[in-house]
Structure 1
Amino acid sequence: MRLPDLTPTELSEAQRALRERIVGGPRGSGPQHFPLVHEDGSLTGPFGVMLHEPALGAPLQELGSAIRYATRLSARTREIAILAVAAATGSTFESYAHERVGRAVGLTEDELAAVADGSFTSTDPHERAAHAFCRRLLADTGPEARWDDETYASYAATLGATTMTELVVLVGYYRTLAQLLDVFEVGVPEE
């Protein structure tokens, strides 16, 4: 374990305030599809990492909260996109957590498996385009991967600029979480 789990008694004032925003916000007050808090009171997944650096963790968790609870993405589209990032980055925690959320918002086991292996398709053109858009974002790197006008227009016709913006931010955010979880070797909580 590269970072110790911080229990409530070990927290500074800034860490306590951040923990309260995480646990007392929509993540902690809504349905719990995966544990947010370990038995000792420390936080699971990326939230435990965020507590170590509250100056960065607070705005990071606020961005995540906005992505999860304030965008216009449908719950299914949001979870398809998050799981596409988890699959592309090999993030076991994000796969673990968002497969559970995905089931709760109506993704079937076959759909979850298809997102995980990259073969997802849907009769809903918006979901299909959102998945393809995220996979393209996740595959493209470097200046040679710039989007030409034709590619942009094809996605904009189905998704629109707002959804595309929300998906770009979602992919960047969950890539950041995946890197935090990887660097600090944060795995799936024991149940």
Structure 2
Amino acid sequence: MSRYPPIPPSQLNPEQHAAYDDASQTAQNIFGDKFIYKNNDDAFIGPFGPLLYTPNMVDPFFKMVVEVGKCPGLPAAAKETAILATGSTFQAGYELYAHGKVAASTSLTEEQIASIKDGKKPDGLDKACQVAFDVAIELSRKQGPLSDETFARAEKTLGKEGTAALFHYVTSSPQRLLSSTFMSQE
């Protein structure tokens, strides 16, 4: 249940409506039909709905999503592994739902996806996904910097660019932040 209920387009003020129109186009371009991000009233759901309460944040939010998505060096399955592992720590339900759908289009199996969503490292992950899982879990569950050992494994496996991209996905997930902040525990 959202603490900030979805706002149907018919109830948006002009500033919200302009942000809604821009966000609708951007969301379609980025996500297509990979997962549901609007309800039957065409109101944004998940982490996207609360954005319309602060329409000035819609554009920066989607710009960040787009720019992080352009980071090179991180294979799609490793990216989704990192997002799901981090989401599992924060119990970010919508993030786990949406990225579970996206992860299904990668080399990850349904069993691996379910395990990662439960915060457990599954068998059979390739090296990039193993590192992505380990980095995500370590960074999201402890205070302080990533251990030297885990950092060295990440750089050896993913290179500097891939490791930097991985850090972006783990530490700056706007969907996770919004989802875990605005959704109630009920």
Cross-structure match for 1:131 = 133
- Correspondence 1:32-181 to 2 at 5 A: 32-68=33-69, 70-72=70-72, 73-117=74-118, 118-141=120-143, 145-147=144-146, 149-174=148-173, 176-181=174-179
Contact 1:45 1:186 in 2 (8 A): no
TM-score computed with the length of structure 1 as normaliser: 0.81
Superposition RMSD in Å: 2.3
Q: CA shift at 1:148, angstroms?
A: 5.4
Secondary structure at 1:133's aligned position in 2?
Answer: helix
- Provide the rounded CA distance (Å) in 1 between the counterparts of 2:148 and 2:83: 26
Unaligned stretches of 5+ in structure 2? Answer: none
Contact 2:95 2:179 in 1 (8 A): no
Where 2:49 maps in the other structure, the secondary structure is helix
In structure 2, how many angstroms separate the alpha carbons of the residues matched to 1:93 and 1:3? 14
Letter of the 1:178 partner, please give it.
R
Mark the runs of 5 or more structure 1 residues left unpaired by the alignment. none
Measured in 2, the distance between the counterparts of 1:151 and 1:35 equals: 35
- Aligned-pair identity in percent equals 25
Report the number of matched residues: 181
CA distance in 1, matches of 2:116, 2:78: 11
Q: Which runs of structure 2 are paired with 1:5-24 in the superposition (5 Å)?
A: 5-24=6-25
**Aligned mates of 1:148, 1:97 — CA distance in 2:** 30
Using the TM superposition, give the Cα deviation of residue 151 of structure 1 relative to its aligned residue in structure 2, in angstroms.
4.4
Residues 82 and 98, structure 1, Cα contact 8 Å, conserved in 2: yes
